[in-house]
A and B are shown apart, each in its own frame.
Chain A
Amino acid sequence: MARFGMVIDTKKCVGCMDCVVVCKTENNVPEGFNRDWIVQDVRGKNPHLQMEIRSERCNHCDNPPCVYCCPTGASHVHDLGGVVIVTHDMCIGCKACIAACPYDARFIHPEGYADKCTFCIHRVEKGMGPACVSVCPTHCMFWGALDDPNSEVSKLLDSRKHHALIPEAGTKPQIFYLV
């Protein structure tokens, strides 16, 4: 079975927020909430500054603390590609998964359940990729099977320097940033 993941080229990302807007449209994300967002990370000392622009979202971790802490099984790993998703009518809104996520990727939907990026699982089931990847104007986002050595994402990770977010938290995130 495939293990889906995402690769984002920070050298190409300009932080235009197209991915953010299309996500809200595609997934009916309510006003005031975001399933994905843009981060500008500036490091260094003037004039030797480095800036990384990242499109961030749920990392669909291989070792997902949000799934482990869920008391009802609402948060679970989908059979399709190891995507972490929430079954809305099983969620009691206890917010343990929100506290368990080191990326703060989850939020409470106004209807009461925990919500987050699903890698657009409804599109993936139809053979398409996530909406954010499909609209990126700089083509900096790639999505595919990380366990397939011939996939585009695997080749990029083989050929380019990259990092994941907070790997020291031990969650084994599945979104990688090319640097």
Chain B
Amino acid sequence: MNEYTTTRHNEMIDPSLHIWGWEIPVYLFIGGLVAGMMIITGYFIFKGKYKDKACVCGVLPLLGMIILSAGMFALFLDLEHKLYTWRLYTSFKIASPMSWGAWILIVVYPAMAASFFVNVPEYFSKIFPWMDKISEKLQQHRYLIKNIGVINMLLGGLLGIYTGVLLSALGARPLWNSSMLWLLFLVSGLSSAAAFVHMVAGRVDERELLAKADNGFLIIEIFVIGLFVIGMITSTKVHIQSAMLLLSGIYAPVFWVFVVGLGIVIPLIIQLLAVNHKIKHTPIAPIMVIIGGLILRFVIVDAGQYSHWIDAAF
């Protein structure tokens, strides 16, 4: 027997940690989604697809900036000392993933803005002709445009990776303390982004390409989840117990049904049938992938807070 009784009952700490509500999972999901959108945009720009006005890479940067701003607002809502938010930008702490993230968020906006001006959507160029002039000048520099594509892919990768490292650097929460979490969040972000772009792309060939890419990301995600779990159950006692939260504990139903089943396996089967022309492409599978990605962040953030070192039997 091991009975542990404490007189402490601090708000948000006891009986189990619950400091982060909906804001952080939503922000982490959006960070991953926009990271994936930046990588897809960068790839299309790098491959020269921006020359076609109908390319989806024309609308993605603007959508990315709007969605990321919503995510940053959620992050702001989570802060408890809001008036001091500016303190994030008076220092850079190399050991703090949150400090890295704050600065990465600052640099991704100019990169997305640059990719927006590579191929300004017609709607904007009609209202703001000066945008088209910038676009024309940019398009005279082929290598500059390729570099904008590369920078978007790199910064998108950094943004997606950071959302995982933000949690995995917190060693006090065994479930987060995995070297696979950055990869899981990056691949999940890429699959959500591919699903999202699949829905907003106007060209059939782009939709087909993104459905195929999404299938690839979903298959990789299954393997990464497998490696994440293997890494946990072959580690220390607290890591094994934290993995059990997902495998057979209180978070298992939502993890297996909504994240793995409805968020990865079923949409993967639907999209495999669609890309093999057995059934038509519909928004059902992409919506399932996006919701699955969001629920993955909720499960990981909640279960991670529940996992701990003290009297580690949970």
Q: Is B truly associated with A?
A: yes
Q: Is B12 in the interface zone, CB < 8 Å from A?
A: yes
Which segment, of A41-49, A119-127, A136-144, A151-159, faces chain B?
A: A41-49
Task: Contact check, B98 vs A96: say whether CB atoms are below 8 A apart.
Answer: yes
Q: Is A82 in the interface zone, CB < 8 Å from B?
A: no
- B310's partner among A68, A73, A92, A104 (CB-CB below 8 A) is A104
Q: In B46-85, which residues have CB < 8 Å from any A CB? A: 78-82, 84-85
- B81's partner among A41, A91, A99 (CB-CB below 8 A) is A91
Task: Contact check, B309 vs A102: say whether CB atoms are below 8 A apart.
Answer: yes
- B98's partner among A33, A37, A69 (CB-CB below 8 A) is A69
Tell me the complex Cα distance, A70–B87, Å: 11
Task: Contact check, A96 vs B170: say whether CB atoms are below 8 A apart.
Answer: yes
Q: Is A14 in the interface zone, CB < 8 Å from B?
A: no
Task: Contact check, B87 vs A92: say whether CB atoms are below 8 A apart.
Answer: yes
Task: Contact check, A44 vs B1: say whether CB atoms are below 8 A apart.
Answer: yes
Task: Contact check, B82 vs A112: say whether CB atoms are below 8 A apart.
Answer: yes
Task: Contact check, B81 vs A104: say whether CB atoms are below 8 A apart.
Answer: no
Q: In A38-90, which residues have CB < 8 Å from any B CB? A: 38-46, 49, 56, 65, 68-74, 89-90
Q: Is B93 in the interface zone, CB < 8 Å from A?
A: yes
Task: Contact check, A33 vs B96: say whether CB atoms are below 8 A apart.
Answer: no
Task: Contact check, A39 vs B4: say whether CB atoms are below 8 A apart.
Answer: yes
Cβ contacts under 8 Å, A92 to chain B = 79-82, 84-85, 87-88
Q: Is B99 in the interface zone, CB < 8 Å from A?
A: yes
Cβ contacts under 8 Å, A112 to chain B = 80-82
- Report if A90-B7 is in contact (Cβ < 8 Å); known contacts: A95-B19, A169-B171: no
The bracket for how many chain A residues form the interface is 35 or more
Q: Is B125 in the interface zone, CB < 8 Å from A?
A: no
Task: Contact check, A71 vs B172: say whether CB atoms are below 8 A apart.
Answer: no
Task: Contact check, B236 vs A168: say whether CB atoms are below 8 A apart.
Answer: yes
- A73's partner among B7, B93, B236, B308 (CB-CB below 8 A) is B93
Chain A residue with the shortest CB-CB distance to B5: A40
Task: Contact check, B170 vs A69: say whether CB atoms are below 8 A apart.
Answer: yes
Task: Contact check, A70 vs B236: say whether CB atoms are below 8 A apart.
Answer: no
Cβ contacts under 8 Å, B236 to chain A = 168
Tell me the complex Cα distance, A49–B3, Å: 10
Nearest-CB distance from A54 to chain B (Å)?
A: 10
- Report if A43-B1 is in contact (Cβ < 8 Å); known contacts: A69-B97, A90-B84: yes
Cβ contacts under 8 Å, A20 to chain B = 7
Cβ contacts under 8 Å, A56 to chain B = 6, 8
Q: Is A100 in the interface zone, CB < 8 Å from B?
A: yes
Nearest-CB distance from A107 to chain B (Å)?
A: 4
Q: Is A101 in the interface zone, CB < 8 Å from B?
A: yes
Nearest-CB distance from B2 to chain A (Å)?
A: 5
Task: Contact check, A37 vs B84: say whether CB atoms are below 8 A apart.
Answer: no
Task: Contact check, B7 vs A71: say whether CB atoms are below 8 A apart.
Answer: no
Chain B residue with the shortest CB-CB distance to A42: B3
Task: Contact check, A72 vs B310: say whether CB atoms are below 8 A apart.
Answer: no
Task: Contact check, B91 vs A72: say whether CB atoms are below 8 A apart.
Answer: yes
Task: Contact check, A107 vs B3: say whether CB atoms are below 8 A apart.
Answer: no
Nearest-CB distance from A130 to chain B (Å)?
A: 18
Q: Is A166 in the interface zone, CB < 8 Å from B?
A: yes
Nearest-CB distance from B83 to chain A (Å)?
A: 8
Task: Contact check, B84 vs A107: say whether CB atoms are below 8 A apart.
Answer: no
Cβ contacts under 8 Å, B223 to chain A = none
Tell me the complex Cα distance, A51–B178, Å: 34
Task: Contact check, B170 vs A100: say whether CB atoms are below 8 A apart.
Answer: yes
Task: Contact check, A71 vs B98: say whether CB atoms are below 8 A apart.
Answer: yes
Nearest-CB distance from B19 to chain A (Å)?
A: 4
Task: Contact check, A113 vs B81: say whether CB atoms are below 8 A apart.
Answer: yes
Q: In B182-217, which residues have CB < 8 Å from any A CB? A: none
Task: Contact check, A65 vs B98: say whether CB atoms are below 8 A apart.
Answer: no
Q: Is B106 in the interface zone, CB < 8 Å from A?
A: no
- Report if A166-B310 is in contact (Cβ < 8 Å); known contacts: A72-B93, A93-B79: yes
**Supplied contacts A104-B13, A113-B80, A169-B171, 16 more A-B pairs, CB within 8 Å:** A32-B10, A34-B9, A43-B3, A71-B101, A72-B84, A72-B93, A91-B81, A92-B87, A92-B88, A95-B19, A95-B20, A98-B12, A99-B17, A99-B173, A104-B10, A111-B81
22 residue pairs A–B, Cβ–Cβ below 8 Å: A32-B11, A34-B9, A41-B2, A41-B4, A41-B311, A42-B3, A56-B6, A56-B8, A68-B95, A69-B97, A71-B101, A72-B90, A89-B84, A91-B81, A92-B88, A93-B79, A93-B84, A95-B12, A95-B78, A99-B19, A99-B20, A169-B172
